[in-house]
Amino acid sequence: MISPTELRGLVAEVLPTATELRRAIHRHPELSYQEFATTERVATTLQYAGVRTSVREAGTGLTAEIGSGPRLVAYRADLDALPIDEPADNPFASQVPGVMHACGHDAHTAIAVGIALALSHFRLPGRIRFVFQPAEESFPGGAVDMVREGAIDEVMSIIALHVDPGLDVGTLGLRTGAITGSADRFTIRLSGPGGHTARPHRTVDLIYAAGKVITELPGLLDRLVDTRRALTVVFGRVSGGVAENVIPATVELGATLRTLDRELWDELPPLIEELAVGIAAPTGAKVEIDYLRGIPPVINDPAVIDQARAAIADLSGPAAIVPTATSMGAEDFSRYLERIPGALIRLGSSPRSASVDLHSAQFVFDERALEHGIGAGAATLIRMLGHPSGLSGPTPPPRD
């Protein structure tokens, strides 16, 4: 297999290509399900190096594979950008108005390509499949399409890296169990006959009913669900009424609901409906609910985290591994983990300047993190393929 020293050398060889790819993708971002040029750019880079690729029939997203043999592990990267205007003075700023890679997907993709290039000329103890999915930022996410189309068929386990501007460059954040939350959306429509604000007793005061639902539903959830099962519901949209002296006939409320508990995620839809109807009942309002099941929580597999921990320690030393907190933000990487064990690993990417959170127009990725991402990803995938001593094995055979 590959020694830590040789792997570091391979990473150094492919780093310029990965860096230029990341910059090109950043300059030309594409929104969810529109990643045609990004897909072609990735496929061309890999094909030029002799890596087997397969572009989805839809033209957005692809898979690539290196190695041979029955054992198969996978690495997930995401391709899409966000509808955000990037400041023109950012490094390698977007040339597409209103679209920006503000979540690091350009880096995720470049890292995956870097791993494939670094390991493509070695006789691996199995195969590594790279899943470049579209539409991670959409709802409920492009991972659903990739799973349905067979992207992880035969795969034993899978990993993904996600940039984290809250962690220092050179560190990898590992966590067993829940690392990101679920994300569901629901709309509550309240209806009544409408009327005059001077005589609310002769109609149904929907604004009052909406206020009760907004304030009481989160409180009731807090008392009906064990507080050790993390849960949050937040109303982000309220629509109803056109005049101060008119009681409207309809009011619509939109909310998101998030949890870190996979079993609770299954229990929530009927509970939300029961509570909303019960809260509104005394007011006389009719209630309709559209509940959209979105993305389950990401639950990292303990065995895969152990493999990542050992691999990263072999390559970069134990100090490169840091604890990381859970987040209520959602990641459709969880769709793969419904089928196979895996882990989402956080890649330290705090920029040299003050750290800015993901999904901000001010977000700037520190490219020094690419080297660490390629190395950690490659080392972990080799360990996942089942080599008993990971990167510490015998001198590698000659490159093919």
Residue 389 pLDDT: 40
Going by C-alpha positions, the residue among 372, 151, 16 that lies closest to residue 380 is 372
| Beta strands at 250-259 and 231-239: parallel, antiparallel or unpaired | antiparallel
Confidence (pLDDT) at 352 = 60
Calculate mean pLDDT across residues 1-30. 95
**56-93 pLDDT, tens per residue?**
999 999 999 999 999 999 999 999 999 999 999 888 99
pLDDT the model gives residue 356: 80
The answer to whether 324 and 179 have CB atoms below 8 angstroms apart is yes
Kindly tell me if the per-residue pLDDT of 29 is higher than 90: yes
What would the pLDDT profile of 276-320 be if each residue is shown by its tens digit? Answer: 999 999 999 999 999 999 999 999 999 999 999 999 999 999 999
Is residue 114 within 8 Å of residue 9, measured between CB atoms?
Answer: no
Confidence of residue 2 (pLDDT cuts 50, 70, 90): confident
CA-to-CA separations, 241 to 5, 249, 250, in angstroms, rounded: 67, 8, 8
| Residue 135: count of CB within 10 angstroms of its CB | 24
Report the mean per-residue pLDDT for the chain.
Answer: 93
Q: How far apart, in whole angstroms, are the C-alpha atoms of residue 308 and residue 354? A: 29
Q: Give pLDDT, residue 105.
A: 97
pLDDT of residue 393: 35
Residue 353 has what pLDDT? 55
Specify the higher pLDDT residue, 357 or 240. 240
Class of residue 361 by CB neighbours under 10 A (exposed 0-12, middle 13-18, buried 19+):
middle
Instruction: For residues 272 and 266, give the distance between their C-alpha atoms in angstroms, rounded to a whole number.
Output: 12
**Cα(102)–Cα(93) distance, rounded to whole angstroms?**
11
Beta bridge partner(s), residue 343: 159
**Residue 354 has what pLDDT?**
58
Q: How many CA atoms lie within 13 A of 124 on its CB side?
A: 28
Helix axes 105-119, 4-27, angle to 10 degrees: 140
Which amino acid appears at position 55 of this protein?
V
Q: From start to end of 143-271, where are the E strands?
A: 157-164, 172-174, 177-180, 183-191, 195-196, 231-239, 246-247, 250-259
Q: Residues 90-122: pLDDT tens digits?
A: 889 999 999 999 999 999 999 999 999 999 988
> How much is the pTM?
0.91
- State the average pLDDT over residues 150-155: 97
pLDDT above 80: residue 355: no
Q: 346, 125 in Cβ contact below 8 A?
A: no
d(CA 257, CA 325): 19
More confident residue, 354 or 167: 167
pLDDT in the model for residue 397:
37
At position 94, the amino acid (one-letter code) is S
How high is the pLDDT of residue 396? 36
pLDDT of residue 346: 98
Q: What is the pLDDT of residues 336-354, one digit of tens each?
A: 999 999 999 999 998 765 5
H or E segment and range at residue 281: none
Percent of the chain with pLDDT over 70: 95
Do the Cβ atoms of 376 and 4 come closer than 8 Å? no
339 in helix, strand or coil? coil
What the block records as the tokens of 170 is 């050179």
Find the mean pLDDT for residues 187-207: 97
